[in-house]
Every structure is written in C-alpha cells, then in structure tokens.
Amino acid sequence: MKAGGLDTWKSRILAVWPACAPYLDQITDFAQLTLARYGHHTLLPQRGERIVFLGDAAHATSPQLGQGANMALLDAAALDEALRRSDDLDQALDVYGALRRNHIKLFQALSLMLTPFYQSDGRVLPWMRDTLVAVAARVPPLPQMLGAMVAGTLLDPLGRIGLAEPDWTAIAGALGSTEAPTQEKA
C-alpha cells in the first residue's frame, strides 16, 4: 500500500466511497494512520484457580462476525447463571465453562475460517465472497443459517443459560405501530 504512495491509496478509497474525501484531505502522511492488527486467541477452560475470564480476555477474534460484545455479554449471563446454580465457587466456575464451551468453540472456528474472506492479501477468497457466496447466500437454508451466525444464535446460547430469545416479530410489529403515526404526521 505504502509503495504506491499516499495519493494512489486515497484515490482507491475515493473510488469506493467518495464521501470520505473530507477525512482523507486531513491525511498528509502515512505516519498519521494507525495499523489495526487483529489477534485470534481462545482460552479454554475460561477459568483458573479462583479466577475467571470473560469476553475478549478469553476469546478474541477479528471483528468480522460482529460477535465480540455479544459473546462477552453471554459470558457474563452464563457466569451469573452458574453462580446461581452452585454455592461452591469451584463447581460454579466449572459450570460456567461448560455452559459457554461449545458456543465459543464454534464461533472461534467460524471466525478463524471466515476472516481471510474479508481480510487478506489474497484475491481468490474475496472473489469467492463477492460472487459465489453472494449467490449461494440466497438459497435456503443458507439465509437462515447466515442470519443465525451473525446474530450469534447458532447452538442456542441463550437456552442453556436460562434465557430466551425475544419475540423479534412482535417487537418489530410494536416498533412499526409506534413509528407509523410519526410517518403520518410527516
């Protein structure tokens, strides 16, 4: 990227997103930029001797699946559930690990597998993402599976920690009914 010079880099970005121009105008040197490096690590079991790990400290990934905050909140809810289930701390931390293990393993594996499709120097995987996957993603049951993947609901992480997924259809309906009058006024 640097070899091509600042202007070449800017013109590539502007070709994709012209509205970035005011931001790009402020950059006069590559040194003003910070390179984002993403690490991938999984700590299993998510506990040690009288210590417990939640969120990125236990399972960091690239942000492609948009699941990091979601996973951290699931960890917190699972720890709460585990502490309710047992008065023995050691046992409760084991329960916490068991409640989260499979979901974490699945999403860590998915993230590791899918990241190169979004961030890599290769040409083949991004091409597959933009062409083959874009078409395949319209064929059932892939839309449902992809939806569950980006919602983090594969393997039902909520049920096992005593929570239930909200009725999104009802919520969307309720939001629609509150938004409708505003639209009428406008």
Ligand X SMILES: Cc1cc2nc3c(=O)[nH]c(=O)nc-3n(C[C@H](O)[C@H](O)[C@H](O)COP(=O)(O)OP(=O)(O)OC[C@H]3O[C@@H](n4cnc5c(N)ncnc54)[C@H](O)[C@@H]3O)c2cc1C
**Does 110 sit near ligand X (CB under 6 A)?**
no
Residue 34 token pair: 């910070």
**Does 46 sit near ligand X (CB under 6 A)?**
no
Among 46, 47, 52, 68, binds ligand X (CB under 6 A): 68
**Does 126 sit near ligand X (CB under 6 A)?**
no
In the chain, which residue ranges form alpha helices assigned H by DSSP?
6-16, 21-25, 68-85, 89-118, 124-128, 134-136, 142-151, 168-185
**Does 72 sit near ligand X (CB under 6 A)?**
yes
Residue 121 CA to residue 125 CA, distance in Å, equals: 9
Least separation in angstroms between CB 62 and ligand X? 8
Among 21, 69, 134, 145, binds ligand X (CB under 6 A): 69
Residues 6 or more apart in contact with residue 13 via CB below 8 angstroms: 20, 24
Least separation in angstroms between CB 76 and ligand X? 9
Nearer to ligand X, 67 or 108 (CB): 67
Number of residues assigned to the chain: 186
Cβ pair 68, 154 in contact under 8 A = no
Q: Which residues bind ligand X (CB under 6 A)?
A: 55-57, 63, 66-70, 72
